[in-house]
Amino acid sequence: MSALTVRPAVAGDDAFLRAVYASSRAEEVAGFGWPDEQARAFLAMQYEAQRRHFRSAWPRAVDGIVAAAGEPVGRLYVDRGAAAVTVLDIALLPTARGTGIGTALLRGLQAEAAALDVPVALQVRPGHRAVRLYDRLGFRSTTSGASEERIAMRWRPPGHAEWAAAVGVPGVLAGVPALPAECSPALRLGPFEQFSVALRVPADAAFAQGTHRFEHPALGALDLFVVPSARTGDDVTLTATFARAVAP
């Protein structure tokens, strides 16, 4: 996959953003059976309504232009609040769908949210093709923020219970197979729980102490600070230590 960048949208991007929005709803609107002119007018009206709503409800959110290999391919509109990273809109041109770009963008947001110990929240239309992607990345439906037209979904940084359940299920650490092999008991320290996880990687993998991206089918994407702690002829054990806020 080509290198991805996301930059803040500027006034000159308006036509592109309108095209991305129209393409994201083209299949839905085609089902209405309207003439092309009526469909275009409806999509333009809907785009303006969405823009006004986003700017009013999330004034600090950033509307971003997603580019692959320097070419604009989509939109990522995100509000980075104190309590959550909220995805207001993620949409790609048809030619960019199914290429891994959406997955990469969401995994990046998961890692960003995990570092802040806040969830990633989003909404999606029932039956939309993106629901399968969100499920695969660990997002789960929630009643908070849901409506008749939208499913509210949320991904939370994994705590002790999630890591314990992930033991034995392989993931990937900086491109290298990595197996969560052990999760220590959680130690409760006031409003936090502290625990450690042992990850096993192949013996020939060169990992120094530091931060590396970990991707896991159940946990999502996380930037883990790991410390090499043991070595055998078959594998190297890396230890990551966590302190997570817990409900009182």
Q: Mind listing the pLDDT tens digit for each residue in 47-92? A: 999 999 999 999 999 999 999 999 999 999 999 999 999 999 999 9
Same domain, 122 and 207: no
Rounded to an integer, the average pLDDT of 108-134 is: 90
Q: Work out how many domains the chain is built from and give that number.
A: 2
What does DSSP assign to residue 149? S
Single residue among 121, 137, 155 that ends a domain in this structure: 155
Same domain, 98 and 117: yes
Q: Mind listing the pLDDT tens digit for each residue in 145-191? A: 656 788 999 999 998 999 999 999 999 999 999 999 999 999 988 88
Q: Is 8 exposed, middle or buried (0-12, 13-18, 19+ CB in 10 A)?
A: exposed
Same domain, 63 and 141: yes
Rounded to an integer, the average pLDDT of 204-215 is: 92
pLDDT at site 244: 80
Same domain, 173 and 186: yes
Single residue among 155, 179, 211 that ends a domain in this structure: 155
Q: Is 172 exposed, middle or buried (0-12, 13-18, 19+ CB in 10 A)?
A: middle
Same domain, 15 and 68: yes
Single residue among 155, 182, 214 that ends a domain in this structure: 155
Q: What is the DSSP string of 156-184?
A: ----HHHHHHHTT--EEETTEEEEEEEEP
Same domain, 135 and 17: yes
Same domain, 164 and 130: no
Same domain, 140 and 189: no
- CATH code: domain of residue 104: 3.40.630.30
Neighbours of 52 (CB within 10 A): 10
Same domain, 167 and 103: no
Rounded to an integer, the average pLDDT of 3-25 is: 95
Same domain, 100 and 165: no
**Parent domain of 70:** 4-155
Report CA-CA distances (Å) from 159 to 118, 223, 243, 245, 247.
12, 14, 9, 9, 11
Same domain, 136 and 27: yes
Same domain, 167 and 210: yes
